[in-house]
Structure 1
Amino acid sequence: MEHLREQNMYVVTGATGQLGRLVVEGLLAAVPAEEIRVLVRDAAKVEEWAQRGVRVQEADYGRPESLAGAFAAGDRVLLISGNEFGHRVAQHGAVIDAAKAAGVALLAYTSVLAAPTATFRIAEEHQGTEELLRASGVPFALLRNGWYTENYTAGAAASVEAGEVFGSSGAGRVATAPRRDYADAAVAVLTGEGHANRVYELSGDADWSMDEYAAELAAASGSPVVYRDVEPAEQVRRLVAAGLPEGFAEIFADTDAAIVKGQLALRTGDLARLIGRPTVPLAETVRTALGA
């Protein structure tokens, strides 16, 4: 029986990240814990999962040798994209190679919305990874995630205190959803059928502008909040002053330029269909972030 279970494991890479933790919790609600394996850099961070029966293996995208034995024939794997920008194609390629060698049944990858036509910088490594995955011959599912609502609401309290939220996306619109919605979609694909060699463009049911976001902050807090559009260089300067590493600040400014072009406003309904419910609205995520 142990051998049979090994042939049908649900494997989550990068499981200690914000998205990965939500995916694992979703799997724990859907399948027996002993059918879940997580790949993490530090096993001590997931001791609670191990105690619940989840299999834990220490592995690092940047060390291909650590992926030995991580997968087995019949596994269903979620490759959550790494965060070492500039190195991700090679790192993801190591995971794909290991999955191919093992003969996994499905490899789902968290890409980015409308990846083939996206022009912002973080899309480039997703494009490269998608090419490797298609060329590998491994049955795949592309989960092209849109922008997370938490990319904005993580700073909600500070924006309310300052009375403004700033950016460089102008009147551009973005169709976001919270991480839990994207995690639920990943769980649905891993545990469901008919997802091999499918592409899902995942985004929120509604799109919104930064002026509308500021209005939601004001409504939830009862304090006036406005959107202040600034030049990209000023956006980077402000983000760095707030404590964000310069590289990440530049990514936000670069993505705002894509939002101006409408590249993160695509709405296909794929996310709501996969999770079997509407995506969580902006207003609800704002209220949660502010404790309102």
Structure 2
Amino acid sequence: MLAVTGATGQLGRLVIDELLKKVPASQIVAAVRNPDKAQALAAKGIQVRRADYDQPSTLVSAFANVDKLLLISSSEVGKRTEQHKAVIDAAKAAGVSLLAYTSLLHADTSPLMLATEHVATETYIKQSGIPAVILRNGWYSENYTGSVAAAINHGAVFGCAREGKLATASRADYAAAAAIALTQPDQAGKVYELAGDDAFTLSQFASYISAASGKKVEYNNLSQAEYTKLLEQVGLPAAVAAMLGDSETGAAEGALFDDSKQLSTLIGRATTPIEQSIKRVL
């Protein structure tokens, strides 16, 4: 039995799709906070079980008879460490034989504030004694392509990454890697640094949007404080805006770049180019 936490989330849904290509639906458990939102998965023959990170009592039963578990990191920055610990404790109690965890690219050396909770989780996994594979995911291309329409409207991409290189890949690329880690043998003990094959700067990103849309789009580099304030003005919570500003500043120093091509090697194909992701959005 293979279980995926956060199975109705943006990454979780894609991991489920990949697993369905490899194993029967009856061997997949969708561990979700709200089973009512997973009816489409149940209709495919997937077992849907309630698993709330904030209610540990739901987790042990959710992982019953599960051999391999994918812990997709929580989206609740600031609460992640305790939520993840609850999942790890439940996985150990349930006798899970392999735990896969979606961490952050170069988490152990990353200057990003996001790294703190990922490092704490990796450490707790190691201390738990559960055989594990760590999937250190780089930035999702969707983190940027979600703003393509706004960039075209304003004629500008805003950020504070200067000319830092971003080795992004699509969520589908990372989902394929997670599914492979759950289904291929001999994954315990491995740590993957996962990133896109082709890096780009935000100046290049703006030029790609221009080329694809036929409208002039330029990159406007701001200070971290200015960019964070802009994100708050467009409606993002202060904590999220601060995290994104910090991440872009880290990107300026190379924190979101990796050229080892471990992701494409693992999934057996090239990662999705950012130009293709832009065209899909358009």
1:103 aligns with 2:108: no
Q: 1:10 and 1:73 mapped to 2: Cα distance?
A: 9
Q: 2:246 and 2:138 mapped to 1: Cα distance?
A: 15
How far off its partner does 1:74 sit? Answer: 5.7
Indicate if the aligned counterparts of 2:60 and 2:93 stay in contact, CA closer than 8 A.
Answer: no
Tell me which residue corresponds to 1:171: 163
Which residue identity is paired with 1:198?
A: K
Which residue identity is paired with 2:59?
A: L
SS in 2 for 1:280: coil
Q: 2:59 and 2:160 mapped to 1: Cα distance?
A: 40
Indicate if the aligned counterparts of 1:89 and 1:126 stay in contact, CA closer than 8 A.
Answer: yes
Query: What are the residue-to-residue correspondences of 1:20-99 with 2, within 5 Å?
Result: 20-72=12-64, 75-99=67-91
Q: 2:7 and 2:232 mapped to 1: Cα distance?
A: 28
Tell me which residue corresponds to 1:156: 148
Q: 1:87 and 1:240 mapped to 2: Cα distance?
A: 21
Percent identity between the two aligned chains: 46
1:186 aligns with 2:191: no
1:204 aligns with 2:192: no
State the Cα deviation string for residues 147-189 of structure 1 (Å, max 9, x = none): 0011000010110111000000101111000100000000011
Unpaired stretches in structure 2, ≥5 consecutive residues: none
Q: 2:9 and 2:45 mapped to 1: Cα distance?
A: 20
How far off its partner does 1:80 sit? Answer: 0.2
Tell me which residue corresponds to 1:121: 113
Tell me which residue corresponds to 1:135: 127
How far off its partner does 1:72 sit? Answer: 3.7
State the Cα deviation string for residues 7-55 of structure 1 (Å, max 9, x = none): xx11000111100110011112221111000111111111011111100
1:248 aligns with 2:219: no
Q: TM-score, normalised by structure 2?
A: 0.98
Q: 2:123 and 2:65 mapped to 1: Cα distance?
A: 22
Q: 1:200 and 1:70 mapped to 2: Cα distance?
A: 27
State the Cα deviation string for residues 256-276 of structure 1 (Å, max 9, x = none): 111111011112111001111
Aligned length: 282
Indicate if the aligned counterparts of 1:73 and 1:105 stay in contact, CA closer than 8 A.
Answer: no
Q: 1:230 and 1:261 mapped to 2: Cα distance?
A: 15
SS in 2 for 1:109: strand
Q: TM-score, normalised by structure 1?
A: 0.95
Which residue identity is paired with 1:24?
A: I
Q: 1:74 and 1:235 mapped to 2: Cα distance?
A: 44
Q: 1:83 and 1:141 mapped to 2: Cα distance?
A: 20
State the Cα deviation string for residues 108-127 of structure 1 (Å, max 9, x = none): 00000000001111110000
Which residue identity is paired with 1:264?
A: L
Tell me which residue corresponds to 1:3: none
Which residue identity is paired with 2:269?
A: R
State the Cα deviation string for residues 98-142 of structure 1 (Å, max 9, x = none): 111122121000000000001111110000000000111101000
Equivalent of residue 104 in structure 2, options 112, 118, 122: 112
Q: 2:215 and 2:168 mapped to 1: Cα distance?
A: 24
Which residue identity is paired with 2:253?
A: K
Indicate if the aligned counterparts of 1:15 and 1:39 stay in contact, CA closer than 8 A.
Answer: yes
How far off its partner does 1:231 sit? Answer: 1.2
Q: 2:192 and 2:60 mapped to 1: Cα distance?
A: 29
Q: 1:68 and 1:113 mapped to 2: Cα distance?
A: 29
The 3 A distance-change label for structure 1 pair 72 and 58 is: closer
Unpaired stretches in structure 1, ≥5 consecutive residues: 1-8
Indicate if the aligned counterparts of 1:168 and 1:232 stay in contact, CA closer than 8 A.
Answer: yes
Tell me which residue corresponds to 2:206: 214
Q: 1:29 and 1:74 mapped to 2: Cα distance?
A: 19
Q: Which runs of 4+ in 1 moved over 3 A?
A: none
C-alpha root-mean-square deviation of aligned residues, in Å? 1.0
SS in 1 for 2:182: helix
